[in-house]
A and B are shown apart, each in its own frame.
Chain A
Amino acid sequence: MGVEQKLGNMGIVTHRLEDLVNWGRTRAMWPMLFGLACCAIEMMATQASNYDLSRFGMELMRPSPRQADLMIVAGRVSRKMAPVLRRLYDQMSAPNWVIAMGDCASCGGVFNNYAIVQGVDEIVPVDVYVAGCPPRPEALIHGIMTLHEKVKTETFKDWG
């Protein structure tokens, strides 16, 4: 006997707070404008009118990490860039998520050498890895939808 059945006749809808907050988070997740290499071209194409990330509540790419929720690491990260990436991640306000877009950001890809970080999960926690070299705009949108599915399963414990 839930509270919904008792309040059913009064026109009140109850819901779990977790679902409501996660729904809100997936509907307004602003990505950070952080293109590093060729994947950034596809990221720009995803933002442009042909694929239009605004449909997913990502109205603008924010150039400031303090206004962004989602970091799309688009491209290879060199060892020199790694501390910058970590600093930008630290400047983002919680809750924040990271998508490793493309092979190089995910695991180094074809650049298996001393200059490239072999996957950005060495320096920041990554939520979704998108395969492709570079991924099509559709593939990036698929990655964003995978992230949304992940965010929808988050609980109170994950928020803390």
Chain B
Amino acid sequence: MLRPGALMRGMWTTFKSMFEKPVTVMYPQVKRPVSKRFKGRHELKRYDNGLEKCIGCALCAAACPADAIFVEASENTDEQRYSPGERYASTYEINFLRCIYCGFCEDACPTEAIVLGDNYELSYTNRSEAIYTREMLLVPVHPSAAPTPQKVAPGTFDRPIPEMEDPD
């Protein structure tokens, strides 16, 4: 049975939508802000004095469900100091094609060194490009801080895990 009223009501909806504002986000030009809890590409953080937070304990690699992280530690000396404590991560590699961005590494890290950032633009033409090394993951040194390795006075940075204000 033909019902012209119903047809017209449907066509009216179609007609109205011609004057609505488009919902499309013009992605490459306009980037929608990610949520606060978004997990994107990792970053290795530094302390305010420029020392790396990562102490090479490889707890992140142990916690990783996808085996995406590889850590190799080396010894710190007071002449060549990368991080507080005895050891630093001389090799730190994350395969971003294995990583599932679950944030378990962030939870496992005792020094809050590895943090998942908000970069999601990760596409590669080659699988080996997806393996990010330590230098690519480390955040740049703050202009007021010194780059690593630093030469420090003996006994200044003996403790690998800092005193945290709110340890959770």
Contact = CB atoms under 8 A, between A and B. Distances in A.
Interface of A: 49-52, 55, 103, 106-110, 112, 119, 121, 127-133, 135-139, 141-143, 145-146, 150
A146 B125 contact: yes
B127 A103 contact: no
B166 interface: no
A150 B67 CA distance: 30
Interface in B113-131: 120-127, 130
Nearest to B34: A136
Contacts of B95: 107
B97 A106 contact: yes
21 contacts: A49-B22, A50-B23, A55-B26, A106-B97, A106-B127, A107-B127, A128-B123, A129-B123, A129-B130, A131-B99, A131-B124, A133-B100, A133-B101, A139-B120, A139-B121, A139-B122, A139-B123, A141-B27, A143-B123, A146-B123, A150-B125
Contact of B97 (A131, A136, A138, A146): A131
B26 A110 contact: no
B127 A133 contact: no
B121 A103 contact: no
A145 B31 CA distance: 15
Contacts of B97: 103, 106-107, 109, 129, 131
Nearest to B101: A133
Contact of A112 (B22, B27, B67, B130): B67
Nearest to A108: B98
A72 to B, nearest CB: 12
Nearest to B122: A131
B125 A128 contact: yes
A115 to B, nearest CB: 16
Contacts of A130: 122-123
Contacts of B67: 112
A50 B164 CA distance: 42
Contacts of A106: 97, 127, 130
Given A109-B98, A138-B32, A51 B24 contact: yes
A81 B14 CA distance: 41
B125 A138 contact: no
Given A50-B23, A50-B25, A138-B31, A110 B124 contact: no
B150 to A, nearest CB: 33
A62 B102 CA distance: 33
B28 A103 contact: no
B82 interface: no
Contacts of B126: 129
A55 B100 CA distance: 29
Contact of A119 (B65, B99, B127): B127
A138 B30 CA distance: 10
Interface string B101-114: 11000000000000
